[in-house]
């Protein structure tokens, strides 16, 4: 047992040391001279708030995250600002940091005392940061890593059983073996289901569009933006022209200031579509129609999408598997009378009237037949 522990800690130490050696140099390959390298390092320390007396409370990195995060952040991340100012002049950057336009930014940017030289150094750091990008969050790496570690452990156990025969109490090896295999299976299973299914999928969008701000705070109807939902298969994502109806006038938001809405302005004026990341996505062989559910079935958006008006960032709340569709069709009673759509089901109409059946579910109207949902 002790040997196993030792081996484990050895492996962990070894791999830790591998992970410590991370590349720091830029990819350009150009030799930085001594001066700007030091400027860059000081810029980095300033950005993280590691130099005393410059920040009252929050440093740049506390608002402009440099690491990928799972949670929603109204502030632009460090890469976004680095990218935006990459080719621009120092003066422009100084203005944005020290003499910001707009209410939100003046509010956020008043708690530090930096001079222009400091800000220039921060720009050096951000230019360098721009081609490194946000630091990836760790969980994925940890999982792959854990998987490999377990693999090494398993190999070692097999080698010991057949060749080395160092461990006397065989059953211990057996137990560790089973636990390690089970763990690996669990990891593979998690990764596998995450591939096809995407429950809880909640990506960052190119513009921080919030349903809380628009639906809950400003009472805009879902169908104002998703304007094909009642009569077509797809609900539709509004194009930037719809945003422009309001944002030709509304140029600053309470949470995000000008930065996000500026992207709307740029997309509209530049004629470039906003590349929203699609969240709900059935496989191609499955057929789903919004009109059928919203108009005929009279099902609320929230039944399938959850409380969208409470989401700053849209999240998929069900697994949208075949079982999910079928279960609902079995359970949900349709409003059979007063609905022209159901006139076509004469057999069912008779049975309902004669009292042979007392409710009609989506299953009875054919909602569990393969061909209704599969091409």
Does 242 interact with ligand HEC (rule: CB under 6 A)?
yes
For residue 314, the number of C-alpha atoms closer than 13 Å in the C-beta half-sphere is 19
Query: Which whole-number Å values give the CA distances from 52 to 44, 80, 114, 239, in the listed order?
Result: 14, 26, 11, 47
Give helix 170-196 / helix 139-159 axis angle, nearest 10°: 150
Does 237 interact with ligand HEC (rule: CB under 6 A)?
yes
Q: Where in 262-301 is the site for ligand HEC (CB under 6 A)?
A: 264, 276, 278-283, 286-288, 290, 292-294, 296-297, 299, 301
Q: Where in 302-341 is the site for ligand HEC (CB under 6 A)?
A: 303-305, 308-309, 314, 320-322, 324-326, 328-329, 332, 334
Classify residue 340 by its DSSP letter.
G
Cβ 336 to ligand HEC, closest distance in Å? 9
Which position among 21, 195, 340, 370 is part of the footprint of ligand HEC (CB under 6 A)? Answer: 370
Q: Could you give the CA distance from residue 134 to residue 156 in angstroms, rounded to a whole number? A: 37
Cβ 262 to ligand HEC, closest distance in Å? 6
Q: Could you give the CA distance from residue 295 to residue 190 in angstroms, rounded to a whole number? A: 37
Does 40 interact with ligand HEC (rule: CB under 6 A)?
no
Listed in sequence order, the residues at least 6 apart from 70 whose beta carbon sits closer than 8 Å to its beta carbon are 137
Stretch binding ligand HEC (CB under 6 A), from 24-32, 34-42, 149-157, 226-234: 226-234
Both tokens assigned to 176:
């560790």
Which position among 124, 153, 261, 317 is part of the footprint of ligand HEC (CB under 6 A)? Answer: 261
Phi, psi at residue 164, to the nearest 5°?
A: -70, -40
Does 18 interact with ligand HEC (rule: CB under 6 A)?
no
Which position among 37, 247, 268, 291 is part of the footprint of ligand HEC (CB under 6 A)? Answer: 247
Location of structure tokens 């991370």: 22
Does 81 interact with ligand HEC (rule: CB under 6 A)?
yes
SS3 63: helix
Q: Where in 203-222 is the site for ligand HEC (CB under 6 A)?
A: 205, 207-211, 213-215, 218, 220, 222
How many residues touch ligand HEC under the rule CB under 6 A: the total is 103
Which position among 40, 60, 124, 176 is part of the footprint of ligand HEC (CB under 6 A)? Answer: 60
Does 234 interact with ligand HEC (rule: CB under 6 A)?
yes
Location of structure tokens 């050895």: 10
Cβ 271 to ligand HEC, closest distance in Å? 15
Phi, psi at residue 252, to the nearest 5°?
A: -145, 135
Residues in the chain: 375
Contact 279, 316 (CB under 8 A): yes
Both tokens assigned to 359:
């409710």
Which position among 182, 246, 269, 275 is part of the footprint of ligand HEC (CB under 6 A)? Answer: 246
Q: Where in 96-155 is the site for ligand HEC (CB under 6 A)?
A: 96-97, 102, 104-105, 108-109, 112, 114, 122
Stretch binding ligand HEC (CB under 6 A), from 133-141, 147-155, 169-177, 233-241: 233-241
């Amino acid at each position: 047992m002790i040997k196993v522990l030792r081996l484990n800690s050895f492996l962990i130490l070894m791999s830790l040391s591998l992970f410590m050696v991370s590349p720091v140099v830029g990819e350009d390959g150009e030799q930085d001279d001594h001066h700007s390298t030091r400027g860059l390092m000081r810029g980095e320390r300033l950005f993280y708030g590691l130099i005393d007396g410059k920040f009252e409370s929050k440093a740049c990195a506390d608002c402009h995250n440099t690491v990928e995060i799972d949670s929603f952040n109204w502030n632009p991340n460090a890469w976004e600002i680095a990218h935006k100012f990459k080719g621009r002049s120092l003066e422009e950057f100084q203005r944005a940091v020290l003499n910001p336009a707009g209410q939100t930014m003046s509010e956020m940017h008043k708690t530090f005392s930096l001079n222009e030289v400091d800000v220039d150094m921060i720009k050096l750091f951000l230019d360098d940061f721009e081609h490194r990008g946000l630091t990836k969050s760790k969980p994925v790496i940890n999982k792959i890593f854990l998987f490999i570690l377990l693999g090494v452990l398993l190999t070692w156990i097999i080698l010991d059983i057949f060749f080395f025969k160092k461990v006397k109490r065989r059953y211990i090896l057996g137990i560790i073996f089973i636990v390690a295999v089970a763990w690996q299976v669990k990891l593979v299973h998690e990764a596998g289901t995450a591939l096809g299914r995407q429950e809880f999928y909640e990506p960052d969008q190119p513009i921080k569009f919030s349903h809380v701000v628009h639906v809950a705070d400003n009472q805009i109807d879902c169908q104002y933006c998703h304007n094909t939902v009642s009569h077509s298969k797809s609900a539709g994502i509004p194009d930037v022209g719809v945003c422009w109806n309001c944002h030709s006038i509304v140029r600053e938001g309470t949470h995000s200031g000008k930065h996000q809405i500026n992207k709307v302005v740029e997309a509209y004026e530049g004629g470039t579509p906003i590349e929203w990341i699609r969240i709900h996505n059935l496989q191609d062989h499955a057929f789903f129609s919004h009109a059928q559910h919203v108009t005929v079935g009279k099902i609320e958006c929230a039944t399938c999408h959850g409380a969208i008006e409470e989401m700053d960032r849209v999240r998929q709340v069900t697994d949208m598997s075949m079982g999910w569709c079928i279960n609902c069709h079995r359970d949900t009673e349709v409003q059979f009378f007063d609905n022209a759509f159901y006139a076509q089901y004469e057999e069912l109409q008779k049975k309902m009237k004669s009292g042979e059946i007392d409710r009609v579910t989506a299953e009875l109207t054919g909602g569990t037949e393969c061909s209704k949902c599969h091409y």
